[in-house]
Each structure stands twice: as C-alpha cells, then as structure tokens.
Amino acid sequence: MEEINFSKRPKLKNPYLIVAWPGMGEVAFKAAQFLVKQLSAEEFADINAQEFFYLTASVIKEGIIDTPELPYNKFYYWKNKTGKNDLIIFLSNAQPDLSRCADYCQRILSLVRVFDINMVICFAAIPVPIDHTQESAVWLAVTDQTLKNSLSSYDLKIMSEGQISGMNGLFLGVAKKLNLRGFCLLSEIPIYTMQIENPKASYAILESLKRILGISIDLTELRDQASFVEQQIEQLIEYLKLGGEQPPPIGEDEIEIIKKSLSEYSKLPQSIKLKIEKLFIQAKKDISKANELKKELDTWSIYKEYEDRFLDLFKKPKDKGN
C-alpha cells in the first residue's frame, strides 16, 4: 500500500482507530501520547510529511540554528488481550495546512481498508468559564443516535450543538462521510488557560476512555502532572493578588489579566502559530480571509496580541506620487 509506509503489518482484532493532534491546552495530543506510552503501543507505519506539510522556519536552540524537521505522522498498534477490540493510534505533532486537510484525512482513513476498522475515536478540548481547581467534565459528540444511546450510561455530557474546530473535530466528520461510526470525547478547560498544557483535561478524557473501552491504564503520572500545573496557576494568581485566603470568584477582568500573564509562561502550539501566519499572508491577498483569521485569533484568545497587524490588513495603501 503506497499511500502509507509500513514497517510491519500486525494482525489485529476488530481495531478501533484513535487519532489526535495538538490543539487547545494540548489536551488531545497529550492524552493520545500518554496512551501510547502507558500501553507500550508499537509503531508500525507512518505518512510522508512532505505531502501535507512544508517548512516555514528554522529552530534556534541555545543560540544555534538547528536543522528544521517536518512534523511526524505515526501509527501505533496495541493488542488488547482481555477485550474484543485492539487499538490503532495515529499521532501527529502538527496540524496540516487547511487546504490539505481533506486529502490528509483520506490518507489516514485509507488504513480502514487494511484493518477493517469500523470505529473512530477523537479527543478535543472545550473552553468553558470554570475555575482551574474544578474537575474537568467530559462532553460527548457522536456520529449517530445508536452510538449516542449506547454511550449514555458513562456519565458524559452530550454536546447537542456547536462545532469542534481543527483536525481533532474535522476528522470525525470526514470519517462519517465514509460511513464510519465514531465519537469524540471533549474535556473542559478554563477559558484563561487555553494556551498552556492541561494534563487535568487529558486525564479526564483517558479516565472516560478507560470505562468505555474496558481497558486498564495507570493514570497516576498524568494526575501528578495536573496537580503540578494547578499549583503553578495558584502561585501566579497569588502573585497577581487576585485572591487571598478566600479568593473571590474570578471575573472577566481577572480572566483577561490571567490570560495575558499565562501567555508569558506558555506558548501556542507551533502548528497554530504557522496556521495564523499563513492566514495573515492569505488575508493580505484576499481580505475575505480576514474572517477566518479573526475567528482563529479569538479561539485562542490572542486577538489583542495581533490586533495591530490585523487592523493593518484593512488599511488602504497610500498613493504614490507620479
């Protein structure tokens, strides 16, 4: 099969396909990455990055320019010795260009013909006005009513309307067009922490996945990571004097201050930075792209950081003298 590069072809039993990319709070990517680690899943195939990604910058480490590398796009497998479904996990550390997303999804889904996959599982984050000390509730989006009914007993919130942006949401829609069933687990994250890793949300997703699939995964390490991040946020809030022994509820003004401060200690996923830069280039040539750009900036709560550049798109060039 030329579309995917195989290093081995494992024999799998009724496998489910799990896919994940970087996104808000790195929730989906970190959950899948942790799953691969804890299951000791084995790599068996990949996709040529050159077909869907391109280099846009060099990386500097300790003052030295390093050779840039394209994102990886790897398939892992895990044989479930106690259940009826093995797992295939697809993991990439970047999202492709929007113009290539449909073809990219089709390439990944070509694996369905090889292993007779009939279920696709995605992860995502959902920003909500909760406090960082609260547990992350998990929401559910499904491809059909029958699947919705079968998952109704797992104490998940049903996402009745809205959208799941980026590859973590788009992929399931493409899969449905191919008559594949699937569901997406979306974990809540505080609005003011979208730009930092959120292991608590990743933990919540994997805790739900364990119950649904009936598999055993030790999530202790992920829970410890969540506690550490929560402590760091607490220290930052204390530093900003937003609380005391009994801090008041966090309001909109405080949220904006926290988001701005957290951005100094965090960074956007590299794939999102590249996506934003490309949208700026496209908007300069076609102003209709500005709507898509503004939506992306608002999604990540970083419009203020790019406001001057965004408004410059609408300035008319000065006439040159003859």
pLDDT digit string, tens, across residues 124-182: 999 988 888 888 999 999 999 999 999 999 989 998 887 888 898 889 999 999 999 99
pLDDT at residue 220 tops 60? yes
Q: Is residue 53 part of a domain?
A: yes
290 neighbors 313 (Cβ within 8 angstroms): yes
| 202 and 281 assigned to the same domain | no
| 46 and 133 assigned to the same domain | yes
Q: Is residue 244 part of a domain?
A: no
| 28 and 169 assigned to the same domain | yes
Q: How confident is the model at residue 107 (pLDDT cuts 50, 70, 90)?
A: very high
Pick the more confident residue, 192 or 300.
192
| 25 and 141 assigned to the same domain | yes
- Residue located via tokens 């081995």: 8
* The pLDDT of residue 271: 66
Distance, CA of 156 to CA of 149 (rounded, Å): 12
Q: Which of 180, 200, 221 is the last residue of a domain?
A: 221
* The pLDDT of residue 33: 94
Report if pTM > 0.85. no
| 292 and 144 assigned to the same domain | no
* Angle of helix 220-239 versus helix 252-264 axis, rounded to 10: 110
* The pLDDT of residue 267: 54
pLDDT at residue 21 tops 80? yes
Q: Is residue 253 part of a domain?
A: no
The type of residue at 273 is: K
| 91 and 27 assigned to the same domain | yes
Pick the more confident residue, 294 or 195.
294
Q: Which of 221, 241, 256 is the last residue of a domain?
A: 221
From start to end of the chain, where are the E strands?
5-6, 16-20, 42-46, 59-61, 64-66, 73-78, 87-92, 119-128, 138-142, 157-158, 181-190
Q: Is residue 243 part of a domain?
A: no
* The pLDDT of residue 303: 79
Q: Is residue 25 part of a domain?
A: yes
Q: Is residue 84 part of a domain?
A: yes
| 165 and 31 assigned to the same domain | yes
Percentage of the chain modeled with pLDDT above 70: 86
- Residue located via tokens 């687990």: 185
* The pLDDT of residue 265: 46
| 188 and 79 assigned to the same domain | yes
Domain count across the chain: 2
* The pLDDT of residue 255: 57
Q: Is residue 11 part of a domain?
A: yes
* Enclosing domain of residue 277: 270-312
Pick the more confident residue, 265 or 54.
54
Distance, CA of 271 to CA of 314 (rounded, Å): 26
pLDDT at residue 248 tops 60? no
Q: Is residue 249 part of a domain?
A: no
Pick the more confident residue, 198 or 275.
198
pLDDT per residue over 79-95, tens digit each? 998 878 999 999 999 98
Q: Which of 189, 221, 253 is the last residue of a domain?
A: 221
| 102 and 198 assigned to the same domain | yes
| 191 and 289 assigned to the same domain | no
| 16 and 163 assigned to the same domain | yes
Instruction: Find the mean pLDDT for residues 191-204.
Output: 87
Q: How confident is the model at residue 244 (pLDDT cuts 50, 70, 90)?
A: very low
| 165 and 30 assigned to the same domain | yes
* The pLDDT of residue 259: 56
CATH value at residue 150: 3.40.50.10900
